[in-house]
Amino acid sequence: MIPNGYLMFEDENFIESSVAKLNALRKSGQFCDVRLQVCGHEMLAHRAVLACCSPYLFEIFNSDSDSHGISHVKFDDLNPEAVEVLLNYAYTAQLKADKELVKDVYSAAKKLKMERVKQVCGDYLLSKMDVQSCISYRNFASCMGDSRLLNKIDGYIQEHLLQISEQEEFLKLPRLKLEVMLEDNVGLPSNGKLYTKVINWVQRSIWENGDSLEDLMEEVQTLYYSADHKLLDGNLLDGQAEVYGSDDDHIQFVQKKPPRENDHKQISSSSSGSPSPNATVQSPKHEWKIIASERTSSNTYLCLAVLDGVLCVIFLHGRNSPQSSPTSTPRLLKSLSFEPQPSDTVEKPMSPMQYARSGLGTAELDGKLIAAGGYNREECLRTVECYDPQKDTWTFLAPMRTPRARFQMAVLMGQLYVVGGSNGHSDDLSCGEMYEPEIDDWTPVPELRTNRCNAGVCALNGKLYIVGGSDPYGQKGLKNCDVFDPVTKSWTSCAPLNIRRHQSAVCELGGYLYIIGGAESWNCLNSVERYNPENNTWTLIAPMNVARRGAGVAVRDGRLFVGGGFDGSHAVSCVEMYDPAKNEWRMMASMTTPRSNAGITTVANTIYAVGGFDGNEFLNTVEVYNPESNEWSPYTKISKF
């Protein structure tokens, strides 16, 4: 066709033909202007082609002063066959590698900063992973520093720990064997809390007592767990014990032998001359992490962990102590077995969401936890996930029509409502939508009277309220409060707030609407307001102990629980509870992870915290609150049958 007098023609075969010719030129060495030397092997290529697919080589070529000559690039740590695979990919867009070569291709792609190839190779490795190979795959991912790959492998290990524990690779791992003596009528704490205490004990053994991890693994370590929740070293010797306290975790470390020679060197270089019991312990560069654990019987645990950067196994067994207090060295039973024992239930980390989400909407619907939208470092999400607490599984619901973050979600008349927020391109949205469980689909609802981002949303007396938020032109908070009537399908205004707010937590309790904290501009607030729909008024009530924005709120037993958020300098994990009868706030146990812009929701009278941002990473993890023990835990108990 010749529209407007111009000749228009598209050759569908041009690109494929040109790519094939370019690759033929490379293989014949024609017009090549770069020479790669890989472990003694020489490869010719074209600088422009390689610069287009490798940011690493682009930087080298861009800084090459002799841009008209032949560039020489040398690699002494890559597999020549893997580099050849990448060259073919650069010229043909086709990645072909034998399965034995995939790890080397990944390593070469990492060096050349070819992120797409890295991801494809990582996904291939995941598809081939099984219980026999997952430990070696994890070692590889750790060596490569690939957090995405590590998280997926760790998720697999969490699901299959007992099967993995029978494999040869697992049996070769270094082992830390612990026996914990228990006072009468004292049981081991929950799985997550227990390993927090164990890791702290190992850290203090290494950093303050001068032990090495290898020393600790040489023999069974006897510990003592007292009725006041303190973990003590079991080998107490009169006159040689020095107790180190930690009020936060109720952990004590007891020094059981004099410092070693190399410890004197460390102490002498210290300005204080000797370690202080209350000194802050500096974290090492190496990683400390629980990957997966199983409670294999009432007093026996199996765990795969990273201790001081070392992948190892922890076997832990609790038994009744022969004495009521650790005044003498406990005797270790020779028949003690540290192998997993069968049990009807196991305690495992709660299944994470498929997507990391911050600024998400959460709600309870039909006894399940709904997590919608949010954002991570890459995009604003429209996916919706549903968590079944009985099965500890996440499934997908129909996605929202609009990608959406920095919003809140509410349930009204058995249906989910989302309104406002940001889609990642526009700071503020006026559109909303409603999820109907019967048809698993979202339908639009009338638009808001004004665009609204970071606003609070809540259902009250059969109507939907949207409160506060940020203005379309900046970060200034709004006083606006609007209400939606699902019968007339219209929005009307109601009394404004006393204080401008955005990123506040909003909920209903006892026929009132509460808006908690937030920020006026960037200044975090601890003030709280309560709305009475009977007389259309907002009243300031007792303020929180901690000023915060981006917190979550849940209701349980007639009280408000507010957790996480951002206090103006960092993401926080602290939680506080409001008692409306006393009009006072009280600090409760903190979450295991700092969470800003997370979702906190009550499902079946249980409070869950999900997603958020911890100050470094966007989270897909879940944790649950136990009011009886006043503890948060990332673990759940499931039946094996």
The pLDDT, as a whole number, for residue 567 is 92
Q: What is the mean pLDDT of residues 104-122?
A: 93
Q: Which among 456, 419, 458, 415 is positioned nearest to 436, based on CA atoms? A: 415
Question: What's the rounded Cα separation, in Å, for the pair 132 and 482?
Answer: 58
Please name the residue that has the structure tokens 């996605």.
Answer: 399
Q: Are the CB atoms for 605 and 612 separated by under 8 Å?
A: no
Tell which residue, 606, 595, 600, 553, has the closest CA to residue 577: 553
CA distance 317 to 47: 61
Give tens-digit pLDDT for 8-64: 777 777 777 777 788 788 888 788 888 899 888 888 988 888 988 899 898 888 877
**Which domains are present in the chain?**
15-128 (3.30.710.10), 173-234+285-321 (no CATH), 354-639 (2.120.10.80)
Q: How many of the other CB atoms lie within 10 Å of CB of 125?
A: 21
Beta pairing, strands 310-320 & 175-182: parallel
640, two tokens: 């094996």
What is the arithmetic mean of pLDDT over 588-592? 93
CA gap 305, 194 in Å, rounded:
13
Question: Would you state the pLDDT for residue 433?
Answer: 96
Residue type, 79: N
Edge-to-edge order in the sheet of strand 537-541: 505-509, 512-516, 528-532, 537-541
Q: What percent of the chain is modeled with pLDDT above 90?
A: 51
The answer to whether the CB of 548 falls within 8 A of the CB of 594 is no
Per-residue pLDDT band at 2 (split at 50, 70, 90): low
Q: What pLDDT score does 60 carry?
A: 86
CB neighbours of 503 closer than 8 A, spacing ≥ 6? Answer: 406, 454, 470, 518, 519, 549, 550, 597
Q: What is the mean predicted confidence (pLDDT) over 188-193?
A: 69
Q: What is the 3-state secondary structure (H, E, C) of 493-561?
A: ECCCCCCCEECCEEEEECCEEEEECCECCCCECCCEEEEECCCCEEEEECCCCCCCECCEEEEECCEEE
Query: What pLDDT is stored for residue 5 in this prediction?
Result: 72
pLDDT confidence of residue 344: 52
Structure-model confidence comparison of residues 329 and 23, the more confident one: 23
Provide the 3-class DSSP secondary structure of residue 333: coil
Position 142, amino acid: S
Mean pLDDT of 598-624: 95
For the sheet containing 289-297, what is the strand order? 231-233, 221-225, 175-182, 310-320, 300-307, 289-297
Please check the confidence at residue 271 and state whether its pLDDT lies above 70.
no
Over its C-alpha atoms, the chain yields an Rg (Å, rounded) of 29
If pLDDT is split at 50, 70 and 90, which confidence band does 268 have? very low
Alpha carbon distance 205, 198 (integer Å): 10
Paired sense of beta strands 559-563 and 552-556, if any: antiparallel
pLDDT of 340 > 60? The answer is no
pLDDT confidence of 199, banded at 50, 70, 90?
Answer: confident
Closest CA to 505 of 483, 529, 522, 480: 529
Q: Looking at residue 4, what is its pLDDT? A: 64
What digits encode the pLDDT tens for the residues 512-557?
Answer: 999 999 999 778 999 999 999 999 999 999 999 999 999 999 999 9
Q: What is the pTM of this model?
A: 0.52
- pLDDT tier at 334 (50, 70, 90 boundaries)? very low
Residue given tokens 């009338």 in the structure block = 446
Give 234's pLDDT tier (boundaries 50, 70, 90): low
